[in-house]
Amino acid sequence: MSTTRVSSSPDQIVVSDALKIYGGSGGSAEVTALSHVDLTVDRGQFVSIIGPSGCGKSTLLRLIAGLERADSGDVSVFGADPDQACAAKMIGFVPQVPALLPWLSVVGNVTLPSKVNRRADALRRTLPGHVHREPADPRSLLAKIGLGDSLDRLPHQLSGGMQQRVAIARAFAIQADVLLMDEPFSALDEFTREAIQVQLLELWEQMRTTVVFVTHSVSEAVVLSDKVVVMSARPGRIEAVVDIDLPRPRRQGLLESSAMHEYEDLIRGKLQTAWAAGPVTR
């Protein structure tokens, strides 16, 4: 993968000059999904990635998760290779659709990953960039995210929003070093989405796990993040990085403030520039 060795840090996720091309073999057309992408995420930060559809947001997340390899450039997760970080369960993933085990209760779904991860636990203790934290109590996490009275229910007895809350609690429970969230709220109605944003914020403010969050919603990115990364149309590049200097905890009053709206306008402007660049055919 690497043409250059990234300056890796035990306290940062670093993506350095990443290039990702799909296809090209067996006569299929090449698609350059990412080109010259540089990104740094500090430990404990909440970083959102926003950009036009198809600009490579999920691809960038998948490079960090070790699910795809860059064709050139480098990716380092708290000083470790993504494959290594993935094997050591330093990385938690929350997809668009919560993949819950249908035969397990809510609390069973949240508890299982901590039980089956003992070997990964041993591996991650050997990696210099891993900061050990005791596994979080699943019942307490579920109570914090508003599911304290649904512990024994099965996934099919839950609404879509409740299922996604279980997936979030499950991700926090393993005390991964970073949580990668790929549009986790995109299938939810606006009211549910806003309610879950508040619950995610409250949970994150207590846990302070590093999060990289892909979204199409400008207001969601601003509400949640310390830093918003705006990507340009394909091939995806970083158009701008906006630091969100709003105090925490972020509660209702702040969310309706003019400072909040100024950040939204700023990011919308950057997105318009990114759109104006237009998609390319390759």
Ligand X SMILES: Nc1ncnc2c1ncn2[C@@H]1O[C@H](COP(=O)(O)OP(=O)(O)OP(=O)(O)O)[C@@H](O)[C@H]1O
Q: Which residues bind ligand X (CB under 6 A)?
A: 22-23, 31, 33, 51, 53-59, 234
For residue 29, the minimal CB distance to ligand X (Å) is 9
* Consecutive H or E run containing 259: helix 258-277
What is the closest distance, in whole angstroms, from the C-beta atom of residue 64 to ligand X in the complex? 12
CB of 121 to ligand X, least distance (A): 31
Of 135 and 279, CB closest to ligand X:
279
Q: Name the phi and psi angles at 140, rounded to 5.
A: -70, -40
Q: How many CA within 13 A on the CB side of residue 32?
A: 16
Pick between residue 20 and residue 130 the one whose CB is nearest to ligand X. 20
Q: Can you read off the two tokens belonging to residue 151?
A: 């512990």
CA atoms within 13 A on the CB side of 281: 1
CA–CA separation, 86 and 267 (whole Å): 32
In the bound state with ligand X, the residue whose beta carbon lies nearer, of 51 and 98, is 51
Strands 227-231 and 210-214: unpaired
Per the CB < 8 A criterion, the answer to whether 247 and 254 are in contact is yes
**Residue among 178, 129, 176 at smallest CA distance from 10:** 129
Closer residue to ligand X in complex, CB, 18/106: 18
The nearer residue to ligand X, 123 or 240, going by C-beta atoms, is 240
What is the distance between the alpha carbons of residues 42 and 57, in angstroms, rounded to a whole number? 19
For ligand X, which is the closer residue by CB, 49 or 80? Answer: 49
| Nearest distance in Å: CB 62, ligand X | 7
Is 51 strand, coil or helix? coil
CA max distance for the chain: 56
For 227, how many CA atoms within 13 A lie in the half-sphere containing its CB?
A: 17
Min CB(224)–ligand X separation in Å: 17
Nearer to ligand X, 53 or 258 (CB): 53
